[in-house]
Amino acid sequence: MQIYLPIAELPVNMMLLLGMGMAVGFISGMFGVGGGFLLTPLLIFVGVPPAVAVATQGPQIAASSMTGSLMYWRRKALDIKLGIVLLIGGIIGTFLGVLFFNQMRRIGQLDTFIAISYVILLGTVGTLILIESVMSFVRSGKGSTPRARRAGRHHWYEGLPLKMRFHRSGLYISVIPILVIAIFIGFAGAVLGIGGGFILVPALIYIFRVPANVVVGTSLFQILFTMLVATMLHASTNYSVDIFLALMLIVGAVFGAQFGARVGANLRGDIFRLLLALMILAVAGRFTVDIFATPVEPFSATMTDTFR
């Protein structure tokens, strides 16, 4: 059954969109990530213009993080104060990202830029998680305990000015490094159509040592609001958010996420991270081919102005 997308201006199979939303929702529910880094490439592959694919990620990710945030909110596994600091950085980053996105689109390097960013970002994060999960395999074999938070030992960046206390996370650190990370994630989110959960979760755990039980909830809370802002900015500056596409993806993803969450809950922590790393690296690999392999068709043609 075909549905015509009014903004993307092309017909797409409705079942395909629902199915894609569901598959990505499953993975996002399983790993607590937004899934944008999987869905954007999939949409581009189906023929949705990159600009529309990226801009329409916003509402899809917002909807699934809304569900997740509410769930963690009820369990009180959400640090609102930390979330708000992350959000401030996220909004600044998103604003910069949308400006940059529109500029890249104008000079015709958007596709290349998206591909390179995916390779760098996914490649780095994937490799880091992979190394960490393999190390923890090795460690668990030796029977030693993973590093624990020790009182009185801090990284240099935690002691910067503007210190703030985050009760629920048990932190007393400078907000500057938190803002920097949040700005970066907001920027990447707006430019690449990703929520940034797969960067934020490891960052909160490894860089700021936020307790694992509040990390996912807080990250979802931040992603929810960042994506709402991103949707508004995309809608008001490049008019590329497709409401039908968003609706199909949300409906699929919302259901997929529930099943994913159930499967994810039964996975062992290190296996969970290993799988996540492999999946991220697979997507990075796909984009690496795009940039490094000799293209089958070196030409591309884009219509710039139409007279209707």
Partner 1 sequence: MRARGAITGAALLLAAIAAAVSAATPASAQTPPPAASTGAANGANSGQPPAQKLVTTLSPSKILIQSNFAGQALTVFGAIEDNDRSANYDAVVTIKGPRGAVTVRRKQRWGPFWFNLDNRKYIGIPAYIAVLSNRDVREIASAAVREDLHIGINALIPQQVARRGANDPEFRAALQRLRREQELFQEDPEGVTFVSPRVFQASINLPGRVPLGKYEVEVAVFTDGALEARRNLTFEVSKTDLEQAIATSAREYPIGYGLVIIFMALLLGWIASVIFRRD
Is 299 exposed, middle or buried, given 0-12, 13-18 or 19+ CB atoms closer than 10 A?
exposed
Q: Read off the amino acid at residue 125.
A: V
Binding flag, residue 254, partner 1 (CB under 8 A)? yes
With respect to partner 1, which residue has the nearer C-beta, 211 or 290? 290
Which of the stretches 120-128, 130-138, 141-149, 227-235 binds partner 1 when contact is defined by CB under 8 A? Answer: 227-235
Binding mask 57-76 for partner 1 (x = CB under 8 A): --xx-xxxxxx--xx--xx-
Specify the stretch interacting with partner 1 by CB under 8 A; choose among 9-17, 84-92, 135-143, 211-219.
9-17
Sort 292 into a burial class: Cβ within 10 Å, 0-12 / 13-18 / 19+: exposed
Distant-in-sequence, close-in-space partners of 299: CB < 8 Å, separation ≥ 6: none
111 versus 272: smaller Cβ distance to partner 1: 111
Beta strands 171-174 and 163-166, pairing class: antiparallel
Beta carbon of residue 159, minimum distance to partner 1 (angstroms, whole number):
38
Q: What is the DSSP letter of 150?
A: -
Closest CB 117 distance from partner 1, rounded Å: 13
Q: Which residues contact 53 (CB under 8 A, 6 or more apart)?
A: 39, 40, 43, 44, 193
- Footprint of partner 1 (CB under 8 A): 1-4, 6-7, 9-11, 47, 59-60, 62-67, 70-71, 74-75, 108-109, 111-112, 116, 228, 231-232, 234-237, 239, 241, 243-244, 246-247, 250-251, 254-255, 257-258, 290-295, 297-308
